[in-house]
C-alpha cells in the first residue's frame, strides 16, 4: 500500500505508531483535519502533519472524516 500511495502522489508523514499520507492534488480543503486537531494538523508548522502529537486512535478518527480521500493512514 505504501508504494501505491506514494506513486499516486501522496506524501508520507511518518510517526512512531502510525503513518499519515496526504495528497494535496485531491484535497477539497474541507478543513476537517485542522478543526479535528490543531496538534496533529498545524498549517503554521513544518511539517504541518505530526502523527506523534496525538494518539493513533485520534489520527484514525480525524482522517476518517476526510471527505476527499486526500488523507490516509497506516498503523505500524
Range of the domain at 68: 2-75
Domain count for the chain, please give it.
1
Which CATH number characterizes residue 11's domain? 3.30.70.20
In this predicted model, what pLDDT tens digit does every residue of 20-34 receive, in sequence order? 999 999 999 999 999
SS3 25: coil
Report the predicted TM-score, pTM, of the whole model to 2 decimal places.
0.94
- Inform me whether the pLDDT recorded for 2 exceeds 90: no
First to last CA, the chain: 13
Amino acid at each position: 500500500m505504501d508504494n501505491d500511495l506514494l506513486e499516486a502522489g501522496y506524501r508520507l508523514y511518518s510517526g512512531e505508531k502510525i503513518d499519515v499520507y496526504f495528497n494535496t492534488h485531491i484535497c477539497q480543503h474541507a478543513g476537517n483535519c485542522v478543526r479535528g486537531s490543531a496538534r496533529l494538523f498545524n498549517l503554521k508548522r513544518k511539517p504541518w502533519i505530526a502523527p506523534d502529537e496525538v494518539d493513533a486512535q485520534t489520527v484514525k478518527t480525524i482522517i476518517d472524516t476526510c471527505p476527499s480521500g486526500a488523507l490516509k493512514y497506516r498503523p505500524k
